[in-house]
């Protein structure tokens, strides 16, 4: 009797241990699934931030904009107005010739031309813009808008919608000198 009671107790303990281990296994599987999902989300967020920072190439629908200015009357302010109008219309990635445009991009006049982020940009100015073409093109063509202003400067402007634009000019990722994340 005593042996049977001990066997029953031992069997009960083993069954309890089996349930506990199965629970741990399920918890670890769920944790592993959560870790994998977190990893996927982190990679996706890294890609999104890379597009915004200009450190990774991007592709998608958008427009190709070409500004040909034989009289050289289009100056930095007009190019900056164009960039700002595109941003306001929902541009997600912009490239002018071989320069990636990001949040801290600056445009300046230099002797005989224009520089974007310190790089000389020669004519014609070729913009590759990723965003919703149905929003970008009309934003440039509104009465008194970018296209009319550039044409008043004797520039020739062409805007074409495209299903696939590739923005492949990249910027080097730079660590800020002073700003640090406040969430640390």
pLDDT at 180 over 90: no
Phi-psi bin for 97: left (phi > 0), alpha (psi -120 to 50), beta?
left
Find out whether 55 and 48 touch, Cβ atoms under 8 Å.
no
Q: What is the rounded distance in angstroms from the CA atom of residue 70 to the CA atom of residue 75? A: 12
pLDDT at 147 over 80: yes
- DSSP codes joined into one string, 81-141: HHHHHHHHTT-SEEEETTEEE-TT--EEEETTEEEETTEEEPSSEEEEEES-HHHHHHHHH
* pLDDT number for residue 5: 72
184 confidence band (pLDDT: 50, 70, 90): low
- Alpha-carbon Rg for the chain in angstroms: 29
Structure tokens at 171: 């910027």
* pLDDT number for residue 181: 78
pLDDT at 47 over 80: yes
- The residues spanned by each domain of the chain are 1-53, 58-167
pTM of the model: 0.76
Give the β-pairing of 107-110 and 119-121.
Answer: unpaired
pLDDT at 54 over 70: yes
Residues facing residue 108 across a β-bridge: 115
* pLDDT number for residue 77: 95
Contact residues for 153 (Cβ-Cβ < 8 A; gap 6+) = 69, 71, 73, 74, 78
Q: What is the rounded distance in angstroms from the CA atom of residue 169 to the CA atom of residue 95? A: 7
For 75, the 3-state DSSP assignment is coil
Cis peptide, bond prior to residue 16, ω within 30 of zero: no
Q: How does pLDDT run across 105-144, given as a tens digit for each residue? A: 999 999 988 999 999 999 999 999 999 999 999 999 999 9
* Range 58-167 has CATH code 3.30.70.1880: yes
């Amino acid at each position: 009797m005593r042996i049977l009671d001990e066997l029953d107790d031992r069997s009960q303990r083993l069954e309890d241990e089996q349930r506990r281990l199965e629970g741990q296994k399920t918890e670890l599987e769920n944790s592993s699934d959560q870790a994998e999902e977190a990893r996927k989300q982190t990679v996706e967020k890294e890609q999104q931030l890379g597009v915004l920072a200009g450190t990774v190439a991007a592709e998608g629908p958008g427009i190709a904009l070409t500004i040909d200015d034989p009289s050289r009357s289009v100056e930095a302010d007009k190019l900056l107005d164009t960039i700002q109008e595109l941003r306001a219309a929902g541009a997600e990635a912009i490239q002018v010739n071989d320069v990636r445009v990001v949040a801290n991009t600056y445009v300046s006049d230099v002797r005989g031309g224009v520089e974007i982020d310190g790089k000389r940009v020669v004519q014609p100015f070729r913009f590759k813009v990723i965003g919703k073409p149905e929003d970008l093109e009309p934003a440039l063509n509104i009465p008194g808008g970018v296209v009319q202003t550039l044409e008043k400067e004797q520039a020739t402007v062409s805007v074409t919608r495209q299903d696939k634009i590739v923005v492949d000019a990249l910027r080097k990722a730079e660590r800020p000198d002073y700003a640090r994340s406040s969430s640390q």
